[in-house]
Amino acid sequence: GYGDLRTITTALTAPVARAARTATATAPAEGGGPHEAALRLLRELIAAETGLDPAELAEDAPFERLGIDSLMIAKLNRELDRHFDALSKTLFFEYATLGELVGYFAEHHAAELTGGTPAAAPVTPTAEGTAPRPPRAPRRTARAAIVEPAEPAGDAADDTDAIAVIGLAGRYPAADDLDELWTTLAEGRDAITEIPAERWDSRRWYDPDPAAPGLAHTRWGGFLRDVDRFDPLFFGISPRQAELMDPQERLFLQNAWHVLEDAGYRRSDLADRPVGVYVGVMYGEYQFHGALDALRGGRPLTGSSFATIANRVSHALDLSGPSMALDTMCSSSLTAIHLACESLRRGESELAIAGGVNVSVHPYKFAFLSQGRFLSSDGRCRAFGVGGDGYVPGEGVGAVLLKPYRKALADGDRIHGLILGSAVNHGARTNGYSVPNPRAQQRAITTALEQAGVAPQDIGYVEAHGTGTALGDPIELTGLTHAYRSAEAAPGTWPIGSVKSNIGHLESAAGIAGLTKVLLQFRHRTLVPSLHSAELNPNIDFERSPFRVQRELSAWPDGDRPRRAGLSSFGAGGANAHLVLEESPNPDPVTDVPAGEQRTGEPVLFLLSARDEERLRAYAESAARFVTTERVPLADLCFTTQVGREPLDARLAVAVTDGAELVAALRRFADGGPA
C-alpha cells in the first residue's frame, strides 16, 4: 500500500534482486561454499528482522534501503553471536551492502560457515582496501632540530612542515581559565550541572518522556560561568551594539585577546599583517530571542551570521589574513584548526587564530536533540563505558595561536606543542545520514599520520571523539584499530580518553577542548582519567583491542621519543578530522617552588594594566593567584608583563626581589589599598 515501508523497500530492491538471481543462475555453481553459506544465513536473519522476502534481498542493495536501523542492528548482532565467536558489533556500519558483508564472512569465517573448526585467532574486522600505507620516511623531528647547531648544514632544521601552537586560551564548564580546567581534569571532576536558572526555566521545558513533543528529557549540561559578561568599550563597541551581538561572538573575541596575551603578543605587533582567523561554530540560538521579542511588540534583536564571529576578531584586532567561520557540526573547531594549518603552510597567513565556540542560550536545542534521541538520559557522558545512551551538551570557547614551527623557533616564541599532521574527509554514503563510517575515520587518521611522518607505534595517547553512545564509541574504536593495525600491538597498548566525560560534548568547540586537554597533558607530563568508564562498553572487545581507556591519573614518563598524541573529532553529518600532535621541543622551565616563593638577585619590575581601576584591581587578584601557584621563574614572569602585554589606561608597577612581597602587594591593591 501507499506509504508502507516494507512494500516500498521490496519494490525498490526487487529489480536488482531479479538481475542478481539471473546472473547467479548462469554462473558456475558454488555448492556449499562459504560465500553461499554466508549469503543464505544473512538473508534469513535480515528477512526475519525486516519482514522482507529473503529472495528479494539483492547482494548489492544498500542496507539503508532495506530499512535497517540501529535497533535492528543490535538484534542482528545478537543473532550472529549465536553462530560466530568474537564478532565486532560494528560490521553493519563497516559494510554498506549485503554482498560486502557476505564477502567479509566468507573470507574470515569460512570454517564456521562450512562446518569446520572455528579459527583460533581473534577476529579483527577488516576495512577492505584501506590498509594504511607504510609511513613515508620520517622527517627530522622538531626535537631533533632543537639540538642541531645554530646554523645546521643543509636543510636539517628546516625540512619540517610542523605548525607550532604559540598561544592557548579557553573557558570551559567550571573553568574560567586553563589552570582551573587542568584541576578539573587531574582531579577527575565531572563539571556537568543542571541547566542554570538564568538560562531558562528547565522545569518548564522538561519531560522525562523523550517522545514528549517540544520538550527535553534531560536537564543537564556543561555551562560557562558569566556568559553574559562583556566589556564592549574595551574593544571599541557600543553597549547597545554589544547587546545585539551573539554571546558566541563576544566570547570568541575575548578569547582571541587572551590567546594573544598568552603568546606574549600585543595588538600592535600584528596590526595589518596576514593573520588568519578560523572559528568553528554550529548553533545560532540567540536570534530566537529576537524573534520572540518582536512577536511581543518589543524591539527585535538582530540576527547574526556565523561569519561575524571571525570577522569581528579580524576587525577588532586589525588582522588582514583570511577570516572565516565554518560549520561541520561537531568537528567544526578541529576542521578550523586544520584549515588554519593549511593556510600557514601555503604562506597565505603568517600566523592564525583558530578554535571554536559553543553556547546554549535557548531551550530549543535541548528539545530538538531530545526529539532525535541524541541526549544522555542521566546527564553523564559515558565515553567507552556501559550504559551510554547519548551525549551531554557542553559549552566552551577556546583558541590557539598558530605559526609555522621554523618561524616560531627563529622568533623565540614559547611553544605549547606542535601539530605534525592533520586531515579531514567525509564518510560519504553510509547506512544512514547520521551513521558514522569507520573506514572514513580510519582514512582520516591514516592520512594525518602519513602527513606527520609518524608511525602508530610513535603515538603515546589518543584523545578520542568519545561521545558515550552504545554504538558510536565501538565504531570509533573500529576505525582507530584499523588505522593502527600496522603496528601489530598487544592488547591495551595505547591509552585513550575523552574530555567529554568531564565537561560534556562541546559540539562545535569539542575539537579545541580535546586539543587543549592534550597540550595540558604534554605540559604536566601526566595522563588524566577519562570518567564514567569503570564498567566498559560491552560492544567493544577491550580484551583484544590495542586500546585501553585511561581510567586513572598517571605519569606520562619520558621515553626515547617525544610525547605524541592523536586527536579525533567527528561531525554527526559525516565530516571527520584528525590531528597528530607532539609536545613542545623546548617546554617551559618548571621551578621547584611557585614564583611567589622565589627570590631574584636584582630587583625586577612587575607590570599590570587594564582599561580602568576597577578592572585593574580585579586583574591584580587573579595575578596574585597565578604568582602563588605557578612554578615559573619569577624573573621571566616579570619580563613577560613588560613586553608581552598591551599597555592600557590604568596601570600598576611593583618592583620586587621577593615573590612573597609581590603577592602581598598585588593582594593589597586588589583589596582597595595602594600597592
* Conformation bin of residue 129: beta by default, left when phi > 0, alpha when psi is -120 to 50: left
Contact indicator for 650, 610 with CB cutoff of 8 Å? yes
* Conformation bin of residue 287: beta by default, left when phi > 0, alpha when psi is -120 to 50: alpha
DSSP H stretches of helix in 431-545? 438-452, 472-484, 500-503, 510-524
Whether domain 162-583 has CATH 3.60.9.10: the reply is: no
For the ranges 438-442, 467-471, 522-526, 555-559, which has the lowest average pLDDT? 467-471
Q: What is the pLDDT confidence band of residue 589, given thresholds at 50, 70 and 90?
A: confident
**pLDDT 10s digits, 74-89:** 889 999 999 998 889 8
Could you tell me which of 589, 555, 468 has the C-alpha nearest to residue 186?
Answer: 555
Q: What percent of the chain is predicted at pLDDT more than 70?
A: 87
> Which is it for strands 351-358 and 396-404: parallel, antiparallel or unpaired?
antiparallel
Rounded to 10 deg, the angle between the 510-524 and 332-346 helix axes is 70
Contacts of 440 (CB under 8 A, 6+ apart): 425, 426, 427, 428, 479, 574, 576
User: Helices H, strands E: what count in the chain?
Assistant: 23, 17
Q: What is the pLDDT confidence band of residue 8, given thresholds at 50, 70 and 90?
A: very low
| Confidence (pLDDT) at 489 | 92
| Confidence (pLDDT) at 153 | 31
Contacts of 483 (CB under 8 A, 6+ apart): 132, 441, 442, 445, 446, 449, 456
| Confidence (pLDDT) at 72 | 86
Calpha distance 145→149 (Å, rounded) = 9
Could you tell me which of 656, 518, 515, 522 has the C-alpha nearest to residue 588?
Answer: 522
* Conformation bin of residue 532: beta by default, left when phi > 0, alpha when psi is -120 to 50: left
For the ranges 113-127, 187-201, 372-386, which has the lowest average pLDDT? 113-127
Q: What percent of the chain is predicted at pLDDT more than 90?
A: 69
Please list the residues that pair with 606 across neighbouring strands: 654
Calpha distance 105→136 (Å, rounded) = 33
Predicted TM-score (pTM) of this structure? 0.84
More confident residue, 82 or 514: 514
Contacts of 153 (CB under 8 A, 6+ apart): none
More confident residue, 645 or 104: 104
DSSP H stretches of helix in 525-658? 613-629, 634-643
Calpha distance 237→508 (Å, rounded) = 26
By the 10 Å C-beta count (0-12 exposed, 13-18 middle, 19+ buried), 673 is classed as exposed
Residue 63 grid cell: 542496507
For the ranges 74-83, 420-429, 571-580, which has the lowest average pLDDT? 74-83
Q: What are the extents of the domains in the chain?
A: 5-113, 162-583, 595-670
Please list the residues that pair with 609 across neighbouring strands: 651
pLDDT of residue 9 exceeding 80: no
Residue 404 grid cell: 609555522
User: Cα–chain-centroid distance for residue 481?
Assistant: 19
Contact indicator for 495, 548 with CB cutoff of 8 Å? yes
User: What's the mean pLDDT in 77-103?
Assistant: 91
Contact indicator for 509, 516 with CB cutoff of 8 Å? no
User: What's the mean pLDDT in 623-639?
Assistant: 91
Calpha distance 51→30 (Å, rounded) = 27
Contacts of 484 (CB under 8 A, 6+ apart): 445, 456, 459, 494, 546
Contacts of 670 (CB under 8 A, 6+ apart): 617, 618, 620, 621, 624
CATH of 5-113, one of 3.40.50.1000, 1.10.630.10, 1.20.1250.20, 1.10.1200.10: 1.10.1200.10
Neighbours of 363 (CB within 10 A): 21
SS3 323: strand
pLDDT of residue 338 exceeding 90: yes
pLDDT of residue 4 exceeding 80: no
**pLDDT 10s digits, 434-470:** 889 999 999 999 999 999 999 999 999 999 999 998 8
Residue 87 grid cell: 564478532
**pLDDT 10s digits, 139-191:** 333 333 323 323 333 332 344 799 999 999 999 999 999 999 999 999 999 99
Contact indicator for 127, 439 with CB cutoff of 8 Å? yes
Calpha distance 42→35 (Å, rounded) = 11
For the ranges 36-40, 441-445, 579-583, which has the lowest average pLDDT? 36-40
Neighbours of 371 (CB within 10 A): 17
431: part of which helix (H) or strand (E)? none
Distances (CA, A) of 259 to 199, 268, 347, 352, 531: 27, 15, 22, 11, 28
User: What's the mean pLDDT in 374-402?
Assistant: 96
Residue 451 grid cell: 602527513
| Confidence (pLDDT) at 29 | 32
* DSSP secondary structure letters along 259-312: HHHHHT--HHHHTTB-EEEEEE-----HHHHHHHHHHTTSPPPPP--THHHHHH
> Which is it for strands 461-463 and 494-497: parallel, antiparallel or unpaired?
parallel
Distances (CA, A) of 33 to 79, 107, 113, 215: 21, 11, 8, 54
Distances (CA, A) of 143 to 139, 162, 420, 461, 527: 11, 11, 12, 18, 21
* DSSP secondary structure letters along 627-651: HHH--S-HHHHHHHHHHSS---SEE
More confident residue, 643 or 129: 643
Calpha distance 429→437 (Å, rounded) = 8
User: What's the mean pLDDT in 261-280?
Assistant: 95
Q: What is the pLDDT confidence band of residue 519, given thresholds at 50, 70 and 90?
A: very high
CATH architecture for residues 595-670: 2-Layer Sandwich (3.30)
Mean pLDDT, all residues of the chain: 87
* Conformation bin of residue 466: beta by default, left when phi > 0, alpha when psi is -120 to 50: left
| Confidence (pLDDT) at 27 | 31
User: What's the mean pLDDT in 24-49?
Assistant: 74
Contact indicator for 97, 64 with CB cutoff of 8 Å? no
**pLDDT 10s digits, 273-316:** 999 999 999 998 887 776 777 677 766 566 678 999 999 999 99
pLDDT of residue 23 exceeding 70: no
For the ranges 48-52, 151-155, 320-324, 648-652, which has the lowest average pLDDT? 151-155
| Confidence (pLDDT) at 147 | 30
DSSP H stretches of helix in 509-643? 510-524, 613-629, 634-643
User: What's the mean pLDDT in 62-80?
Assistant: 86
> Which is it for strands 547-549 and 494-497: parallel, antiparallel or unpaired?
parallel
